Structure 1
Amino acid sequence: MKKIKLAVIGAGASGLCALKNAVDYGCEVVAFEQSKLVGGLWNYTDLTDKDEYGLDVHSSMYENLVTNLPIEIMCYPNEPFPKQPESFVSSAEVLNYYIRYAEKFNLLSRIKFEHHVFRVRPLLNDKWEIIVKNLRNDNFETHIFDSVLVCSGHFHTPYIPNQKGQKLFKGKQMHSHTYRSSKIFNNEMTLIVGGNNSAVDLVIESSKNSKLTIWSHHLNPEPEMTQFEGKIVAKPDILELTENGVKFIDGTFAECSLIIYATGYLYSYPFLSMDSGVLGGDYVKPLWMHCLSINNPSLGFIGLPNLICPNQMFQLQVEFCLTFMTEKRTLPSKDEMLKEMNLDLQERWDRGLTFRKGHFLGHKPDAQLDYYNKLSQKAGIIPIMPCIVKIHSHAHQSRMKHFTSYRNVKYKIVSEDDFEIEYLEK
């Protein structure tokens, strides 16, 4: 196995996993983290635009957030959360988990905090040059590495769809990325746009304070809404905005004063040079198995797929990348990797998914488990237990049927394949 000098960009959930496993694989490794702390987006800040150094705020964390996934599937393999009476916990509990993980495996000394990655570019000798700005002393530093793992996440560059009449609307428009407190909903006629987890959370949050919450989505099947009669009105996609409201594609109109787009994020990596061999945007390409650059296999991305079992998948992707970066296993040919990638993407397009779903796994257990098992088989690493994916699917289905009560359960893993549920009294 080849010993490599590895750079990890970011010290959030995927970055800490990369650091820990890089040490296990015998790498000389260092991580660059823009903030002062580990934990990435789990660090709450009141700031929504720029930080104290004038850099973009990456966190989308808001006040009083409770996880929408159970901690039984949010942990790294063999590193469970401390015992809790509930499966859905506060963001503070999650952040503490990452701090304890970093301390347990002595990762803090390997992280250069308050270091902003300015440029990552390949060199002719198959090395990578990384230019970082030391924010504490305002100086630039240049480092050379054999390989790079990008672990900076993809929840930091908001995607807001263009809507006809967007500039005519006189109310407030914002992305869920900048939402921090439910006070913003006071006495508003609120429109939430989107159908994923953040949209569901904001629909619930806004319904407590808004005069009315209007939810524009195209989920199929339609979520159960009877428990919110009079507080939430479901609408289809937007046709156009007016000065004081929204016209929908079904011909109806609704007045609103606040619009929040919970419409996801773009895959943006401005620090990557034009000759890095990858392109971002709707999805990152060309990648083998959604994580390893086909043009430059010494460059990897951790955590691109969405609607997944996060830390469990991070572990698999990190080990997958390290297995080939350290030459523990030999890579397929470039043509083989491209063929495999194109077949995988074509399957998505054939299902009618848009380009923005290029890394979509979703809540179907078979699709997730198939991807995880392929990672495991190709790299010869330990797979994710099937029960983890089953719990993920169950939690999603419960959330869509029972918005206000899906967290009132305690999950328990009883075997690699099965789990049990205890219903909690609230």
Structure 2
Amino acid sequence: MSRVCVVGAGAAGLCAARHLLEAPCVSQVDVLEQSGQLGGTWVYTENVGYDDFGLPIHTSMYKSLRTNLPKEIMGFPDFPIPESDKSYLPAKDMLAFLQLYADKHGVTEHINFKQHVQQIKPKTGPSGELWDVTYKDLTTSVSVTKEYDYVFICNGHYNTPFIPNIPGLKEFEGDVMHSHDYRVPEIFTGKRVLVIGAGPSGMDIALEITSVTTKVILSHHLKEEPKSVFPNNLVMKPDVVKLDGRKVIFADGSHDEVDVVFLCTGYLYNFPFLDESCGIVVEDNCVEPLYKHLVNIQHPTMCFIGVPYYVCAFSMFDLQVRYYVRSMNGVFKLPSPDEMMQHWEQEKQERAARGYTKRQAHMMGPDQADYYISLSTESGSRPLPPVFTAIHNDSSLKFMDDLANYRNEVYKILDDEKFVVLPM
């Protein structure tokens, strides 16, 4: 019987624990959570910087956030989000849903709160590989090391800001901040703000702060200009070439003066607790070597839940967990490390040939349906209904085309293939 350590009590960790608790081969499930509550990135706090224990604040949640995907595809396949008259929910509703999910499946009592994971290290036991997990109780400052048969890494990837290398950024004479520390628009009142990055949070926050700013410049390198109509005080510009004093020079040769450089440039995968002997390397935001973006090829008794992005997150976590737990239960056998490595190298080459950069190693988007199918086919587990991917694609397109209004629509799933969209 296996003892399993789950790192993190966000959506991925809760999903892992929920399935592990039902696995016939598992005798013990310990969930280690650094903060004082479950929910991970869905927890809102006004605090930024560091917490009371000197650790970086994990969440990047801002006060007004509503989901950028409809709730109909944001629940778990066997535990949908309860019916309501809205499709796009505020963060507090998502947090309440996760609490409900954890309570319903008996996960909550397995969570050890305020536990800071310090080191995870593989070792050889009498019957194979084992893991030493060292973690500190933040309230008592006492560290312990416990032995496990499997480790699930579920610490999320929206908490360590990526700071781009822009000439002059360090010397910029105004303020510089990252969206990780953004909570409310009032901090930008009367300012000229340069927003760098037009991902979901960049676009959302750029629109939100137009209500208080003198001017917003949204700098991005999207292949197609968003069709969304923005207020008159927002202009779009190409990439920033350099900053000089308070002056910004853009790739098209134009320039402007700003008071704030606001980086909406995304996040880095960060696993500071993994010992080098775990064999995992993060370079240019590519976590490797992972089979199916999930299994540690060097040490297959470690898996990572939730690395891919631009996905139906909770459903993907569920599929990844079910895939891996089925391999633990002996329902199917993972390929050999050599075969897994060959698959990983081949996938990287194929993605490069289609124009993906190394930094986009785990970006799914149009590839998500094939990824889901590959997991369910290999493991013999229940697939995700195609309607999930269809709704994801439909919503993502509307995000670009009508940012100010698209959240007013309500989705209704008709069957595994079809959906309808209704006005709210």
Fold shared, TM-score > 0.5 on shorter chain: yes
**Aligned-partner SS, 2:324:** helix
Counterpart of 1:399, as a letter, is F
Mapped partners of 2:94, 2:224: distance in 1: 31
Task: Say whether the 8 Å CA contact 1:4–1:326 is kept in structure 2.
Answer: no
Query: Shift of the alpha carbon at 1:229?
Result: 4.9
What do you get for the CA RMSD once the two structures are aligned?
A: 1.1
Task: Say whether the 8 Å CA contact 2:210–2:231 is kept in structure 1.
Answer: no
Q: Which position in structure 2 is the counterpart of 1:250?
A: 252
Alignment of 1:88-99 (within 5 A): 88-99=88-99
Query: Shift of the alpha carbon at 1:201?
Result: 0.9
Counterpart of 1:156, as a letter, is N
| From 294, 297, 318, the counterpart of 1:294 | 297
Q: Which position in structure 2 is the counterpart of 1:182?
A: 185
Counterpart of 2:407, as a letter, is R
Q: Which position in structure 2 is the counterpart of 1:38?
A: 38
Mapped partners of 1:187, 1:229: distance in 2: 15
Task: Say whether the 8 Å CA contact 2:207–2:230 is kept in structure 1.
Answer: no
| From 345, 350, 372, the counterpart of 2:353 | 350
Mapped partners of 1:244, 1:113: distance in 2: 44
What whole-Å deviation, never above 9, does each CA across 1:371-423 have from its counterpart, x for those lacking one? 00000011111111100111001000001000100101000000100101001
Alignment of 1:392-403 (within 5 A): 392-403=392-403
What whole-Å deviation, never above 9, does each CA across 1:36-90 have from its counterpart, x for those lacking one? 1111111111221111111111100111211111111110012111211010011
**Aligned-partner SS, 2:71:** coil
What whole-Å deviation, never above 9, does each CA across 1:292-325 have from its counterpart, x for those lacking one? 0111000000000011100000001111122223
| From 124, 132, 135, the counterpart of 1:132 | 135
- For structure 1, which runs of at least 5 residues remain unmatched after alignment? none
Mapped partners of 2:33, 2:282: distance in 1: 21
**Aligned-partner SS, 1:8:** strand
Identity across matched positions, percent: 37
**Aligned-partner SS, 1:228:** coil
What whole-Å deviation, never above 9, does each CA across 1:249-304 have from its counterpart, x for those lacking one? 10000111111111111111000001002112411100000000111000000000
TM-score of the aligned structures, taking structure 2 as reference length = 0.97
Query: Shift of the alpha carbon at 1:326?
Result: 3.4
Task: Say whether the 8 Å CA contact 1:387–1:415 is kept in structure 2.
Answer: yes
Task: Say whether the 8 Å CA contact 1:287–1:341 is kept in structure 2.
Answer: yes
Mapped partners of 1:56, 1:368: distance in 2: 31
Q: Which position in structure 2 is the counterpart of 1:55?
A: 55
Query: Shift of the alpha carbon at 1:354?
Result: 2.0
Q: Which position in structure 1 is the counterpart of 2:240?
A: 238
Task: Say whether the 8 Å CA contact 1:297–1:325 is kept in structure 2.
Answer: no
Mapped partners of 1:98, 1:39: distance in 2: 6
Q: Which position in structure 2 is the counterpart of 1:16?
A: 14
- For structure 2, which runs of at least 5 residues remain unmatched after alignment? none
In terms of mean alpha carbon deviation, does 386-395 or 42-51 score higher?
42-51
- Give the paired residue count: 418
TM-score of the aligned structures, taking structure 1 as reference length = 0.96
**Aligned-partner SS, 1:103:** helix
Mapped partners of 1:339, 1:38: distance in 2: 37
Q: Which position in structure 2 is the counterpart of 1:74?
A: 74
Alignment of 1:153-192 (within 5 A): 153-192=156-195
What whole-Å deviation, never above 9, does each CA across 1:185-239 have from its counterpart, x for those lacking one? 20111111112111111111111111111000111211025x3252210000111
Task: Say whether the 8 Å CA contact 1:288–1:338 is kept in structure 2.
Answer: yes
Q: Which position in structure 1 is the counterpart of 2:210?
A: 207
Task: Say whether the 8 Å CA contact 2:293–2:308 is kept in structure 1.
Answer: yes
Task: Say whether the 8 Å CA contact 1:147–1:325 is kept in structure 2.
Answer: no
What whole-Å deviation, never above 9, does each CA across 1:11-32 have from its counterpart, x for those lacking one? 0100000000001213221100
Asked whether 1:332 is paired with 2:335, we answer yes
